[in-house]
A = this chain, B = another copy of it.
Amino acid sequence: MMKILKYMLIFIPISIVGEFLHFSPTVMFILAALSIVPLAGLMGAGTEEISFYTSPKIGGFLNATFGNATELIISIFALKEGLFDVVKASIAGSVIGNVLLVLGASMLAGGIKHKTQKFNKKVSEVSSSMLLFSVIGLSVPALFTHTLNSELLNTKYEGLSVAVALIMFIIYILSLFFSFYTHKDIYSSDLEEEGEEAKWSLKKALAVLVLATIAIAIESEFLVGAIEPMTESLGLSTFFVGIILVPIIGNAAEHSTAIVMAIKNKMDVAVEIAIGSSLQIVLFVAPVLIFISLLFKPMSIIFNEFELAALIVSVFIANRVANDGESNWLEGVQLISVYLIIAICFFMI
């Protein structure tokens, strides 16, 4: 797995050359995307290596918090460019993609090899009901706005968005406290790999992390800069790019891990990656982006109707799936199908 990713690093110099030679936006978008995938992988590996040199708690915290660093960096550049639609779409798209595409692909890939795969219901129930409550919380302002058909003043939206972001962020802090202190025993046995050791020196891990972050920042600038001219020349909507393409690029490395775990019959880990990653988007990435937007131009938390519909649908499906405690290939096919239908609809809008 890691080998293919390593070879993909070649796209970094190519994309930099492309920038100077003024390649077309579509080509630049693809090059930047292909560069970000291995960089996100390196970033994940670097964080994991560093965590071996810390206490398990700090390690867990680092993994949890930096797990979505790639998406965060891409979104910050999009924020800076004022592409609010892309940012919000990619928040919604990450949740939808994790729950439908990643979980679906894991269940399909794992289910072809293993007839019925079981996973720890306790953990997945805690995560999926947290996801339900969080997504509902995050959606309430949009739900009210759209059912109202009204023009709440924009200043009101800003205040409301910051309030909701604050509440979400507090829940995030409390959930870390929950999983690393008061209820750490629920998680410990399942998700930790025993007997693993650091392969890199601390110095190397830190260097990798810093370099990967810088490279992701550069490539994110290329990627975001290419979105508008590319969508214009291809006749795509920026919304489609935000809700389908950006999340796939930002999460590709993580996604492949989930699928590999499912094939190894570690469905627990695959489910936890898909649902846990969605949770972090909602409780950490979204609020942080709202806060950061205050430095440029305040972004509201009001999702559009499609994002709302797709978010709520995904979360109910996640809850249904988690509740089961079991999965098979047909369930995987169905999740992927729902994702496909949503993607086709988004494409046609």
Q: Kindly list chain B residues whose C-beta atoms are within 8 Å of the C-beta of A329.
A: 178, 182
Q: In the complex where A125-B324, A313-B136, A317-B132 touch, is A147 in contact with B306 (Cβ < 8 A)?
A: yes
Closest to A168 in B: B337
Q: Is the CB of B134 within 8 A of A309?
A: no
Q: Kindly list chain B residues whose C-beta atoms are within 8 Å of the C-beta of A328.
A: 178, 182-183
User: CA of A331 to CA of B148 in the docked complex: distance in angstroms?
Assistant: 29
On chain A, the number of residues with a Cβ less than 8 Å from chain B's Cβ atoms is: 59
A321 interface residue per 8 A CB criterion: yes
User: CA of A134 to CA of B160 in the docked complex: distance in angstroms?
Assistant: 32
Most chain B beta-carbon neighbours within 10 Å: one of A171, A174, A182, A337: A337
Distance in Å: Cβ of A43 to nearest Cβ of chain B:
28
Q: Which of A10-18, A87-95, A341-349 contacts B (4 or more CB under 8 A)?
A: A341-349
Closest to A164 in B: B341
Q: Is the interface of A mostly helix, strand, loop or mixed?
A: helix
Distance in Å: Cβ of A256 to nearest Cβ of chain B:
24
What is the 8 Å Cβ interface bit string for chain A, positions 141-152, against chain B (1 contact, 0 not)?
A: 101101110001
Copies of this subunit: 3
Q: Is the CB of A333 within 8 A of B174?
A: yes
Q: Is the CB of B147 within 8 A of A305?
A: yes
Q: Is the CB of B317 within 8 A of A160?
A: no
A319 interface residue per 8 A CB criterion: yes
A334 interface residue per 8 A CB criterion: yes
Most chain B beta-carbon neighbours within 10 Å: one of A330, A340, A342: A330
Q: Kindly list chain B residues whose C-beta atoms are within 8 Å of the C-beta of A178.
A: 328-330
Q: Is the CB of B133 within 8 A of A317?
A: yes
A216 interface residue per 8 A CB criterion: no
Q: Is the CB of A136 within 8 A of B338?
A: yes
Q: Kindly list chain B residues whose C-beta atoms are within 8 Å of the C-beta of A115.
A: 182-183
Q: In the complex where A129-B321, A344-B163 touch, is A148 in contact with B330 (Cβ < 8 A)?
A: no
The 10 closest A-B pairs by CB, nearest first: A147-B305, A133-B334, A178-B330, A144-B345, A140-B341, A143-B309, A137-B338, A137-B341, A167-B337, A129-B320
